[in-house]
Amino acid sequence: MDHAADAHRTDLMTITRFVLNEQSKYPESRGDFTILLNHIVLGCKFVCSAVNKAGLAKLIGLAGETNVQGEEQKKLDVLSNEVFVKALVSSGRTCILVSEEDEEATFVDPSKRGRYCVVFDPLDGSSNIDCGVSIGTIFGIYMIKDNHEPTLDDVLQPGKQMLAAGYCMYGSSCTLVLSTGEGVNGFTLDPSLGEFILTHPDIKIPKKGKIYSVNEGNAKNWDGPTAKYVEKCKFPKDGSSSKSLRYIGSMVADVHRTLLYGGIFLYPADKKSPSGKLRVLYEVFPMSFLMEQAGGQAFTGKQRALDLVPTKIHERSPIFLGSFDDVEDIKALYAAEGKKE
């Protein structure tokens, strides 16, 4: 056993240590935010473990069925939702939770209430579980400004008001990407320690990318600017080489690749889904927040994504996000279309 190497491992930057270091920059902070993030991290570890065992434990597709012990078994997305709701409520730091799995927002009991609102998709891309494709959890955090009785308006805020956002991707490794408004950092779960270790400090997206990511199966329903942009990716007129297409169909995995390698991720509105398909609060906002923090952009086809003011908790929006220059190109096409009208 290499004791020197093992001793060195205790010097690693874990996510807990990282968040505590950030907290120490704000002498007035009470540690509430740190406690909340720790509970989110715990939820991610639990779901990561459940996802890895899914095939063996027959968790897949069995919601409502009963196992040998007479316990009702749950689908992974239902299980993940319960894990996060319980982890967040028990932190004692939240007042409103909005989950993709729950039709209504959850208002936390006054005895366990705190200052934060958390919006989350407990298991994004869960239709991909059966084939082993990367899936993930997406979350965003808002804070209530004063001590009033929490209402839905506290979460129906534009994305630029978010304090923090992130996602945890359950793939070949378990990766947690987080921004608290001062850049983006990536952590990888070391299974032998059960700790998230800082592996991608200060992630910056390349200014321009070589990849575009979109479901081309919807092409016949696209609007003009989207169709023109994808055509330009495939058949550039300026003599540059064409972009590569990469589309996994799991938002966390597609955005993660875009963040690290550059390029653009598109989920436009189309004739079938005139408002787009991705949900504003817990998909569009957190991913847009991370993109901007990493030096990229996020655009809805009409405006900066983080300026959007949602009116319903499960509202949808088109989204174009990724490298700064690539998003500029699609913005120019929408601007040109607007001038025609």
Average pLDDT over residues 171-181: 96
Judge if 143 and 217 occupy the same domain.
no
Residue 324 lies in a domain: yes
DSSP assigned state of 237? T
Q: Given 200, 223, 256, which residue is the final one in a domain?
A: 200
Judge if 116 and 221 occupy the same domain.
no
- Give the domain range for residue 95: 15-200
Judge if 241 and 193 occupy the same domain.
no
Q: What percent of the chain has pLDDT over 90?
A: 79
pLDDT at 69: 43
Residue 205 lies in a domain: no
Judge if 217 and 274 occupy the same domain.
yes
Residue 1 lies in a domain: no
Average pLDDT over residues 73-93: 91
pLDDT at 341: 60
pLDDT at 26: 82
Residue 240 lies in a domain: yes
Judge if 26 and 175 occupy the same domain.
yes
Judge if 134 and 186 occupy the same domain.
yes
Q: Given 200, 219, 253, which residue is the final one in a domain?
A: 200
From edge to edge, which strands make up the β-sheet containing 174-179? 106-107, 94-99, 113-124, 135-143, 164-170, 174-179, 185-190, 195-200
Checking if the pLDDT of 264 tops 90, the result is yes
Question: Which domain CATH number covers 169?
Answer: 3.30.540.10
Checking if the pLDDT of 339 tops 90, the result is no
pLDDT at 23: 87
Judge if 159 and 245 occupy the same domain.
no
Rounded to whole angstroms, how far apart are CA atoms 58 and 243?
A: 40
Checking if the pLDDT of 157 tops 60, the result is yes
Q: Given 200, 226, 259, which residue is the final one in a domain?
A: 200
Checking if the pLDDT of 178 tops 50, the result is yes
What is the DSSP track for 266-329?
A: EE--BSS-TT-SEEIIIIIHHHHHHHHHTT-EEE-SSSBGGG---SSTT-EE-EEEE-HHHHHH
Domain total in the chain:
2
218 and 307 Cβ atoms separated by less than 8 Å: no
Residue 3 lies in a domain: no
Helix (H) or strand (E) holding 156: none
Sorting pLDDT into bands at 50, 70 and 90, what band is 148? confident
Judge if 30 and 79 occupy the same domain.
yes
Judge if 234 and 168 occupy the same domain.
no
Rounded to whole angstroms, how far apart are CA atoms 45 and 39?
A: 10
Residue 188 lies in a domain: yes
Checking if the pLDDT of 129 tops 60, the result is yes
* Closest alpha carbon to 140 in 161, 166, 114: 166
Rounded to whole angstroms, how far apart are CA atoms 240 and 227?
A: 19
* Least confidently predicted of 73-82, 84-93, 155-164, 199-208: 73-82
pTM of the model: 0.93
- Phi, then psi, of 261 in degrees rounded to 5: -100, -15
Judge if 88 and 193 occupy the same domain.
yes
Judge if 136 and 228 occupy the same domain.
no
The tens digit of pLDDT for each residue in 211-232 reads 999 999 999 999 999 999 999 9
Amino acid at position 326, single letter: D
Sorting pLDDT into bands at 50, 70 and 90, what band is 66? low
Q: What percent of the chain has pLDDT over 70?
A: 91
Question: Which domain CATH number covers 315?
Answer: 3.40.190.80
What is the DSSP track for 131-150?
A: GT--EEEEEEEEE-SSSSPP
Judge if 120 and 171 occupy the same domain.
yes
Rounded to whole angstroms, how far apart are CA atoms 36 and 54?
A: 27
Average pLDDT over residues 278-292: 98
* Least confidently predicted of 13-27, 86-100, 158-172, 281-295: 13-27
Residue 9 lies in a domain: no
Residue 6 lies in a domain: no
